[in-house]
Structure 1
């Protein structure tokens, strides 16, 4: 079950899925030479999807990839 500050839901192709489990998490420093900021990364299980979600230090979430 996700903890505070971890992803709770994801939206993909017009549907919203509750995050059921966090399978892995890590911190990426970003490609500093391109000006990318560090981010927290999560591999999650949400319904039938396995997805990689990223959160930048400013709090913005984005879906990096999904497997169904």
Structure 2
């Protein structure tokens, strides 16, 4: 099964660390990063989709995606 996550946050180093951590845990980049201007907060926001192949397991919507192995 392939699981999907969309990481998002402010356009700063903490977002880069979030993506780097996901990559170090076996997640793969999926598509291009996205950037939008949040007019209310007055700052740029960014997002990156990541996917990971996991062993044959039934999908459980109550399970955290990071708990799939």
Which range, TM-score by smaller chain? 0.3 to 0.5
Structure number with bigger Rg: 2
The structure with the largest helix share of the pair is 2
Q: Taking CA–CA contacts closer than 8 Å with sequence separation of 6 or more, which of the two structures ends up with the larger relative contact order?
A: 2
Give the TM-score normalised by the residue count of structure 2.
0.34
